[in-house]
Amino acid sequence: MDLVKLKSGSEIRGFITEKTEEIVKIKTKDGSIWVFKQSEVSAIESFVPAVFEKGYFGTVSLGVLGGSDVSANFLILNGYRINAHWSAGLGIGIDQFYNNMYLPLFAEGRYNLLKKGTTPYVSLGFGYDLPFQMSERNKGGFFGQGLIGFQHELGNHFGIFSGVGFRYGQLQVDEWNWWGTDVTTKTIYEINRFDLRFGFIFR
């Protein structure tokens, strides 16, 4: 992306489509084409979004949890960037395991390997899958997860990320016997899933 600085103090961001000794044409994201005389232009530079180093941010992501029971999930996280490398946050979402819906409540920490707009990252998180339908039988359970992936900043307030990782958890379900007495059998489902994820970053 190019940045055209005008002698009036204005700046136009886009892609230069034509540059001669007399004029400069630049096309902006909305499709508009601006034409300026060379006498109006003070400088032409490459536009590089500033690296977000500190402050609050949010992410929205969609994932596919694969394994013996494939399902999709949806996660929202609100966090704080401590510096260019470290960030942490709390999240909530929707999971499905064995035809039951769960509300994951989790904490996540992330480390960006590079101090750049495009960087690989690693993240670790843990939380609890809370059943949507609360009952004496379905208890939910704790889980942990890890991801490695790439993050790319498209601007000062928006970015995208993708990743692949692994998720492990346990879900407890109490099974009543068929004649309805109080005798129960505790069943523990182990959740071993690979996680493919794509999401958006807002700040």
pLDDT digits (tens, 9 = 90+) for 160-179: 999 999 999 988 877 666 66
State what percent of residues in the chain have pLDDT above 70: 90
Cα(43)–Cα(195) distance, integer angstroms: 46
Cα(64)–Cα(62) distance, integer angstroms: 7
pLDDT tier for residue 181 given thresholds of 50, 70 and 90: low
pLDDT of residue 136: 62
pLDDT of residue 98: 77
Cα(97)–Cα(138) distance, integer angstroms: 12
> Residue 103 is encoded by which pair of tokens?
């509300």
Residue 180 has pLDDT above 90, yes or no: no
Span(s) in the chain for CATH 2.40.160.20 = 55-202
End-to-end CA distance of the chain: 21
Q: What is the pLDDT of residues 91-133, one digit of tens each?
A: 999 998 877 889 999 999 999 999 888 999 999 999 999 998 7
pLDDT of residue 147: 96
Q: What is the pLDDT of residues 15-66, one digit of tens each?
A: 888 889 899 998 988 888 989 998 898 988 887 666 667 899 999 999 999 8
pLDDT of residue 159: 92
Q: What is the pLDDT of residues 128-148, one digit of tens each?
A: 999 987 666 778 899 999 999
Distances (CA, A) of 108 to 76, 100, 138, 147: 11, 24, 25, 10
Q: Does domain 2-46 have CATH number 2.30.30.100?
A: yes
pLDDT of residue 164: 97
Return the residue matching tokens 């071993």.
192
- If we measure between CA atoms, which residue out of 171, 175, 75 comes closest to residue 130? 171
Q: Does domain 55-202 have CATH number 2.40.160.20?
A: yes
Span(s) in the chain for CATH 2.30.30.100 = 2-46
Please compute the mean of the pLDDT values over residues 69-97 and round it to a whole number.
Answer: 92
Helix (H) or strand (E) segment spanning residue 202: strand 184-202
Helix (H) or strand (E) segment spanning residue 54: none
Distances (CA, A) of 142 to 33, 128, 164: 54, 4, 20
Average pLDDT, the chain: 87
pLDDT of residue 56: 93
